[in-house]
Amino acid sequence: MYSRVIKIAIFIFLIPIIFGAGFGYALVNYLEIPDVKILETYKPKSATRLYADDGSLFAEIFVEKRIPIPITQMPEHLKNAFIAIEDVRFYKHFGIDLRGIGRAMFRNIFKGHITEGASTITQQLARNLYLTRQKSFKRKIEEAILAVQIERTYSKDEILNMYLNLIYLGEGAYGVEAASYTYFHKKASELTLEESATLAAMTKSPSRLSPFKNITKAKERRDIVLQKMYEAGFIDKNAYLKALKTPIVLAPYKAYEKKTGYFIEYIKQMLEEYVEEPQDIYTKGFNINTTLNMKMTEFAYEAIEKGIEGFKARNPKKTVLPEVALIAIEVKTGDIKVLIGGKDFASSPYNRATQAKRQPGSAFKPIIYLAAIEQGYTPDYMLLDAPISFTNPYTKTVWNPRNYKNEYHGSVTMRKALELSLNTATVRLLEKIGLDNVIDLAQRLNIKSKFEPNLSLALGSTEVIPLELAAAYATFARGGLYIEPVAIKRLSTTEGELIYEHEREEKRVVSEENAQMLIDIMKGVIKNGTARAASKLPFYLAGKTGTTNDFKDAWFVGFSPNLLCLVWVGYDKAENLGGRESGSTAALPIWIDFMSKALPLYPNEDFVQPEKEEF
């Protein structure tokens, strides 16, 4: 009898154990619970940040716009705003808020439908890191188990830090730092109470509650967050009432992307030299200090817009407007301050400043005249400016280069020929000095075009990339020293590890004396020649207009001792711009408008004067 009782007792005791073990084994095999320890090595995709030359953030490159920051850089009111609206008992529960679950169940039953959830911040973190958003009983069990495991492994502040860096807050922004830049263009540490509440308000529906899309709904939800903060004792009554009266003031919606799109795309191309994999640009969260000047970029777009309006007024029958490229380079450093490859990046992201190859027309002539100077020709050397023709001995075709408006000046100095951009005089000069010498100089100036050895080179028949031509002119401006145009000054990781830092390299490709002699001639282009309209500017300037024979390309490239600017106007399909749309008509006004605003940012210095020979 006694042994039978013992057997029954053992049986009764073992049944729950056996059943529980079996249920637990089945549950473990049914559920998919990852190891929460992987959080210690987890690195979310982070946005790469681009900074202008004054240190201000102007763009981000990302798949997921995320900028991880430590919780110590988050103000208390920011943390409290999320806790108040999402999980007011965050610091009191163990990952699952049983009291919150009971309260939510009661309210949902009372109202007859689901109006309130009970997921804690820890549960939301578990869901975002490991699980899908599929609503199922299995997923809820997995979420609860993971939440408890996370709480056992990490401190509350560590959990909150991970949550605030991972949560999606609309407009492609993940985490509070990225959202802070997106909506307010400031760091999370600089957010006001009202701004923090605005971010926390978007957790319920980031797209619908984006203040960019529905400012009224966003403010209603923000005020609910403020109320929750007041009820939780996070803010006092005065702060609460003052915050309620404060309107939501947003940064311009993606305004920087419109103005800097071409420069950003150029940066992406440059970055591929320094990162291991191209996709790292979008996911590893680099910090990039660039050479871009935002103020000059604004000046450039204003000038381009005004130039396009002028073109429309001169050509009212044109239904399609030409494209415009504008490049500004700081002469002494090689820094690219402005790089615009078209009139509208959103409608046409093709970068004409760095990718298009176009005939430079007369803008190529300074290279020919510099080659002549290197051969010992002086600015006073006499050239014949008169009709000329050449017959191809093989095809018998005749080439008759002509001057603009078919005007000829007879015997002129080399200086005068460049000032007035005389074609026939330049062809004769090219014939004298030799094609090979000009091509060699162009290559020394790092123009990488394939030059055909024929005399049409005098008229700029070989296509060039605008940025390469701008760099060649900058070489003239700095006295014969070539500096490769630079856009990236410094590249580092989010942890502060330096990957690349630019060190300026100068290479002498032209003697200083010869470069100064060419500049002296090019100053005359503005004082007495085809760019006289620029002489009204109170600065020391030199430059050259460029027009192709068929008016398909209009150029002006000009510089001071401190700043160079190139402007190109034309159609992508090389269509005729219209009669008389020369470099001085189409491109020069844009250049003048831009430089009149940009040049005052630098000292008004004169060029180094060439030494005159003593006899």
- Provide the annotated active-site residues: 86, 362
505-543 as b/e, with b when 16 or more CB fall inside 10 Å? eeeebbeeebbbbbbebbbbbbeebbbeebeebebbbbb
For residue 502, give the DSSP letter: -
Count other C-beta atoms under 10 Å from residue 302's C-beta.
Answer: 14
What are the angstrom distances between the C-alpha of 480 and each of 57, 476, 512, 602?
34, 5, 5, 21
How is 380-427 classified by DSSP, letter by letter?
Answer: T-EEEES---EE-TTT--EE----GGG---EEEEHHHHHHTT-HHHHH
Q: How far apart are CA 55 and CA 291, in angstroms?
A: 10
Task: Name the strand (E) or helix (H) holding 51.
Answer: strand 48-51
| The two structure tokens encoding residue 373 | 């100077």
Alpha carbon dihedral 430, 435, 438, 439, in 10-degree steps, equals 150
Query: Measured at the alpha carbon of residue 51, what is the angle toward residues 47 and 54, in degrees to the nearest 5?
Result: 160
- d(CA 129, CA 167) in angstroms, rounded, equals 10
Look up tokens 């990339």; give the residue. 465
Q: Which residues contact 36 (CB under 8 A, 6 or more apart)?
A: 146, 149, 150, 153, 154
Nearest of 163, 299, 184 to residue 251 by alpha carbon: 184
For 561, other C-beta atoms within 10 Å of its C-beta total: 22
As a three-state string, the secondary structure of 555-599 is EEEEECCCEEEEEEEECCCCCCCCCCCCHHHHHHHHHHHHHHHHH
Gap between the Cα atoms of 25 and 377, Å rounded = 94
Element of type H or E holding 17:
helix 2-30
CA 285-326-369 angle, 5° bins:
125
- Residue 146 · residue 33 · CB < 8 Å: yes
Both tokens assigned to 30:
């049914």
Listing DSSP states for 284-330 in one string gives: B--EEEE---HHHHHHHHHHHHHHHHHHHHH-TT-SSPPEEEEEEEE
Q: Which two tokens stand for residue 367?
A: 């290279």
Beta-carbon neighbour count of residue 26 at 10 Å? 10
